[in-house]
Structure 1
């Protein structure tokens, strides 16, 4: 599953999804499986949207390979293909690889510059990863 548009000026899930898609994914990542009506009822608590709109967006997420749909009786149940953690891990890895392929050393330099603003645990994690990479060569 590859997200084609990454929005730099957004935050959180809105970087990968439209606003309604992000809300739907947030709902589904907090539950096991849900019907369109279940999701619409959660959204309706905030007076956000109607059933047909939710159905259209959820089916588009199925078409994009982000949601999985299965039929049980007369109901369709939806759930994310990946957990939130796995989704974010996959997307960040793909973005990093694309940046490395396109910009190479410049990206590494900027990532290292960004480490000045992070906690010591992240730096320690990076040092450990570098040591592992050195052992493999």
Structure 2
């Protein structure tokens, strides 16, 4: 599942989701079980200002449409759960973003990524070197 809108100015989940979407996804990822709209609304209300039930319902159903939530009818309500874990979601999105950057900018993107490794964490450069060696050996 590739998210269509990536926001450079955001951070974490806010790069992929709107503010309320990100909060809802965090709640669902942090909860071990499926949740109803009302369950999510109550958790949101504990964290911040009150959110209208219809607003939460609309946002959760949009997340279903985007393919990040599953919806299951149970009795007279619906249960929601994430399609993948937070870690798997971030893994997929970072991979898609990297591929998009390399497709669009080619070697420039790779060069900038390598330059950034040294600035962010010099140990990452060693990990990259090891990964390259492994890939070459497997060819």
Q: Report the TM range for the smaller structure's normalisation.
A: over 0.9
1:44–1:50 contact (8 Å) kept in structure 2: no
Q: Which runs of 5+ in 1 are unaligned?
A: none
1:59-88 Cα deviation digits (max 9, x unpaired): 010011110011222221101101000000
Name the residue aligned to 1:27. 27
Runs of 4+ in 1 over 6 A off after TM superposition: none
Distance 1:87 1:28 in 2: 13
Q: How does 1:49-128 map to 2 (within 5 A)?
A: 49-128=51-130
SS in 1 for 2:118: helix
Q: How many residues are aligned here?
A: 137
Name the residue aligned to 1:135. 137
Residue 45 of structure 2 is aligned to residue 44 of structure 1 = yes
TM-score (norm 2): 0.93
Q: Report deviation, 1:120.
A: 4.3
